């Protein structure tokens, strides 16, 4: 793979990403939505499958983010899949980071049988 390993001993003195290589929430949102739609359209909730889907989705989204080649970004992808039974559910997050360089994007998918939310955070390494 030609993606350079993140070397933390090299001092690049770049404390900000270049503009065209900044985490772009809208672009990441589209990626996440596409991954969710591709994987879950037409699927029904089933205990074992759901467990497998969460893992596969998290890895797939992370892989897509790596392929954007935004330098020095660390990624966190969290996926929640639940059965659709009319229950109430809420998810939120708070972050302590650098607002200029770090950002997040999320997307949801739902059908009669299940709901899924995926959120991706991009954090820049100084």
Positions touching another protein (CB under 8 A) are: 6, 8-9, 45, 47, 50-51, 53-55, 57-59, 61-62, 65-66, 74-98, 102, 104, 119, 121, 123, 125-126
Smallest gap from residue 119 Cβ to another protein (A): 7
Q: What's the chain's length in residues?
A: 126
Smallest gap from residue 34 Cβ to another protein (A): 17
Smallest gap from residue 23 Cβ to another protein (A): 13
Calculate ∠ Cα 47-49-53, nearest 5°.
120
Q: Residues with Cβ < 8 Å from 83, sequence gap 6 or more?
A: 45, 50, 113, 114
């Amino acid at each position: 793979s030609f993606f350079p390993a993140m070397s933390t001993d090299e001092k690049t003195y770049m404390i900000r990403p270049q503009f065209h290589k900044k985490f772009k929430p809208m672009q990441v949102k589209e990626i996440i939505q596409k991954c969710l739609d591709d994987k879950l359209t037409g699927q029904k909730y089933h205990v074992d499958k759901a467990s497998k889907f969460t893992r596969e989705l998290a890895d797939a989204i992370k892989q897509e983010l790596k392929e954007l080649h935004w330098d020095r970004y660390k990624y966190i992808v969290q996926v929640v899949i639940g059965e659709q039974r009319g229950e109430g559910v809420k998810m939120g997050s708070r972050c302590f980071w650098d607002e200029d360089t770090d950002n997040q994007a999320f997307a949801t998918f739902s059908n009669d049988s299940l709901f899924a939310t995926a959120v991706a955070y991009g954090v820049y390494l100084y």
